[in-house]
């Protein structure tokens, strides 16, 4: 019955000639008007089938005041609960909204509110280049996404949220004012963008988020953002399902990523993912949509975010994540290792191709066997030790470096066992 009631409210409000404000076509079915307005509209359209409200008497007014007080306690989660909401020991019982915040952040409601205040909604107007007609651009289109406030009066979001932007505006939670934002840096490989707002009124009374360490498997995470289906903030929760080097769709790069089972939909991009201590552990940026897969979302972990921020601070601009510029092959076959002259205790990967413009082209060549990178031994499957009981692709070690930074590696020449 609830969907029908919402549909009637939206339809009645749209047909009310006294309502002069234009309704948004995308949200007209999910933002019903207040109950009192609906009652008046239905009464006028249905020939007075619903009786108008009478002026309440003193007793009724007193009861109505108590009802409104109770209603106010439910709506205002910071208010003191009534006697009926206390348990037998006199402690205040958690209400549904408080349960959500307490379960998501393991703290009081004020800390949950502070975290939500850091999340902003981003409005962007895009104008993509027209490669068929290079002298003009394609038609403009708009999109909405999420972001959050970081230290230094900066806003972090996804790069694809502000890709080919012509205008970017941000709006804080509970505000009706949109502030013009400037794009400071865009990291295509890591799918992160950094924004700022010049108006000091935007930063009034807000605290930046705190970054946490890389989570472990089965750690709880809470994703906050502004996805499709409504105009207000949405909160979804889940656990960490997997941590590995993941393909970033926007930049076609291979970087560290976290897989979670929390719902990540269109509009969640750029929203933060918090752990149980209220620390930001990632940025929601993509999800897997497949008929054989369910509840697979990905967030950018804090090591990638910190690398992006440090790179911007060190160079004054974003210089990208480094790459060796090689293609390599696994050496899991013992016959292949024997044919290439490797010793029984040696492990590594075979270099198949080297980019001619890559800096390593002066030190490596096609057919070399890469045994270690920066002092860390590489296994025959191309993995290195990551954490206790975990292994990860050695590309993770490369992504931790910065451009123009020197590294050391150990390799063997083809058809020889001496290194």
Closest C-alpha among 306, 301, 307 to residue 321:
307
d(CA 5, CA 33): 11
Pairing of strands 179-187, 141-150: unpaired
d(CA 151, CA 211): 10
Long-range contacts of 291-296 (CB under 8 A, 24+ apart): 295/238, 295/261, 295/262, 295/263, 296/241, 296/259, 296/261
d(CA 34, CA 30): 12
d(CA 116, CA 118): 5
State the catalytic residues.
160, 191, 269
Neighbours of 146 (CB within 10 A): 26
Distance of alpha carbon 372 from the chain centroid = 34
d(CA 379, CA 371): 8
Residues 270/284, Cβ–Cβ less than 8 Å: yes
d(CA 386, CA 390): 5
């Amino acid at each position: 019955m609830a969907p029908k009631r919402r549909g009637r409210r939206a339809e009645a409000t749209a047909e009310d000639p006294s309502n002069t404000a234009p309704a948004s076509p995308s949200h007209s079915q999910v933002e019903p008007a207040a109950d009192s307005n609906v009652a008046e509209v239905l009464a006028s359209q249905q020939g007075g089938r619903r009786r108008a409200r009478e002026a309440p008497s003193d007793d009724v007014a007193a009861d109505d005041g108590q009802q409104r007080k109770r209603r106010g306690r439910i709506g205002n989660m910071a208010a003191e609960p009534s006697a009926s909401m206390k348990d037998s020991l006199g402690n205040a019982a958690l209400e549904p909204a408080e349960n959500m915040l307490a379960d998501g952040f393991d703290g009081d409601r004020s800390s949950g509110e502070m975290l939500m205040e850091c999340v902003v909604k981003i409005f962007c107007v895009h104008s993509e280049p027209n490669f068929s007609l290079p002298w003009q651009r394609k038609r403009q289109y708009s999109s909405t996404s999420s972001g959050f406030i970081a230290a230094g009066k900066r806003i972090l979001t996804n790069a694809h949220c502000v890709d080919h932007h012509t205008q970017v505006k941000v709006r804080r939670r509970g505000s009706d004012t949109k502030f013009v934002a400037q794009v400071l840096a865009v990291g295509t490989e890591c799918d992160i963008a950094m924004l700022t707002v010049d108006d000091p009124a935007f930063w009034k009374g807000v605290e930046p988020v705190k970054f946490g360490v890389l989570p472990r498997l089965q750690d709880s995470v809470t994703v906050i953002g502004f996805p499709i289906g409504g105009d207000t903030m949405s909160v979804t929760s889940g656990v960490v399902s997997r941590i590995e080097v993941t393909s970033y769709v926007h930049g076609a790069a291979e970087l560290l990523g976290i897989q979670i089972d929390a719902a990540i939909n269109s509009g969640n991009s750029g929203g933060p993912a918090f752990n149980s201590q209220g620390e930001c552990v990632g940025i929601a940026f993509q999800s897997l949509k497949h008929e054989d897969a369910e509840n697979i979302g990905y967030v950018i972990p804090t090591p990638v975010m910190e690398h992006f921020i440090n790179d911007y601070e060190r160079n004054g601009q974003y210089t990208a994540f480094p790459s060796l510029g090689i293609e390599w092959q696994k050496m899991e076959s013992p016959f292949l290792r024997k044919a290439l002259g490797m010793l029984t205790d040696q492990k590594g990967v075979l270099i198949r191709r080297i980019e001619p413009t890559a800096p390593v082209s002066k030190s490596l060549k096609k057919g070399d066997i890469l045994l270690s990178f920066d002092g860390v031994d590489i296994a025959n499957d191309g993995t290195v030790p990551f954490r206790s009981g975990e292994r990860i692709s050695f590309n993770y070690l490369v992504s931790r470096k910065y451009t123009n930074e020197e590294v050391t590696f150990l390799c063997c020449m083809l058809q020889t066992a001496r290194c």
